[in-house]
Amino acid sequence: MRENVLAPSMLSADFKILGKQLKETEEAGAQYIHFDVMDGIFVPSISFGMPVLSSVKGATDQVLDVHLMVTEPIRYVKEFASCGADIITIHLEACEDPGAALDAIHACGVRAGISIKPATPVEELIPYLDKADMFLVMSVEPGFGGQAFIPESLERIRQLRYLLDERDLEKDVEVDGGIYHSNVAEVLDAGANVIVSGSGVYKGNIRKNTAEFMEILRNHE
Ligand code: DX5
Ligand code: ZN
């Protein structure tokens, strides 16, 4: 049976009380911290990077799920690994050679993910189905929290899970963007098992939001 995982996106946290908020998600059952790195080139915005990751590593036992929205992320793989990343996900569209980036991540002893933006055909992941450990389907245009879930993403998740099942590959399918209590069940039913949520966790009561997500995730295993 596949474990469902909640990965609250730190991008929506209140950074002046970050340590406290991360603890709240951990104590309420979230297994991962989703750490969005933006370079101002691959996506318009700039977020945070290595020094922040090192601090977070020291503050929690959660799995650090690093989402690199960065052009040619291979340049930074070693540094993010040494700052404590447990999973590093790169964007297919950001790499000249996505396979080399995945190899570089594995060479650091870290789990490797590959992500596609909403307009990238799912079939473009086929060459990496064996190599990557996790596949991230963006359900919003990467770059900002708080956007609306793109409904066509459900079909894309189904398509990806089918491609994996066809090959007997039991891998993680992560979905990121616009996920709330109201639509997470559909995302899980489509075949995802790693759920990123920023606004859905951090807006309002963090403990309660996390616990409610976890209940839905457990009921769908
Ligand atoms: C968007 C980021 C997301 C974002 C999700 O580029 O990759 O992880 O923080 O935020 P919500 O859940 O608010 O859409
Ligand atoms: Zn993300």
Contact status, residue 56 vs residue 22, Cβ threshold 8 Å: yes
- CA of residue 193 relative to chain centroid, distance: 11
Shortest CA distance to 145 belongs to which of 202, 193, 82, 91?
A: 202
Residues 63-95 pLDDT 10s? 999 999 999 999 999 999 999 999 999 999 999
Query: For atom 9 of ligand 1, which residue has the closest CA?
Result: 145
| CB under 5 Å of ion ligand 2: residues | 36, 67, 176
pLDDT at 171: 98
pLDDT at 2: 85
Phi and psi, residue 114, nearest 5°: -135, 135
The single-letter DSSP state of residue 136 is E
Bridge partners (DSSP) of residue 47 are none
Phi and psi, residue 13, nearest 5°: -75, 165
- In total, how many domains does the chain have? 1
pLDDT at 1: 76
Residue 113 Cβ < 6 Å to ligand 1: no
Amino acid present at 82: S
Residue 8 Cβ < 6 Å to ligand 1: no
Task: Let me know how many helices (H) and strands (E) the chain has, helices first.
Answer: 8, 8
Q: Measure the CA dihedral 36/42/46/47, to 10°.
A: 10
**Domain CATH code at residue 44:** 3.20.20.70
Its domain, for residue 48, covers 5-219
Contact status, residue 56 vs residue 15, Cβ threshold 8 Å: no
Residue 120 Cβ < 6 Å to ligand 1: no
Which of 45, 64, 153, 199 should be mutated for ligand 1, with most atoms under 8 A from CB?
A: 199
Stretches where the chain sits below pLDDT 70 are none
Q: Which ligand is nearest to the CA of 6?
A: 1
Report which ligand 1 atom has the smallest distance to the Cα of 147: 14
Tokens of 10: 């730190």
d(CA 157, CA 4): 15
> Separation of 9 CA from ligand 2 center, angstroms?
7
Beta strands in 40-110 (DSSP E): 63-69, 87-91
Is residue 172 annotated as a catalytic residue, yes or no? Answer: no
Residue 145 Cβ < 6 Å to ligand 1: yes
Enter the pTM of the model.
0.98
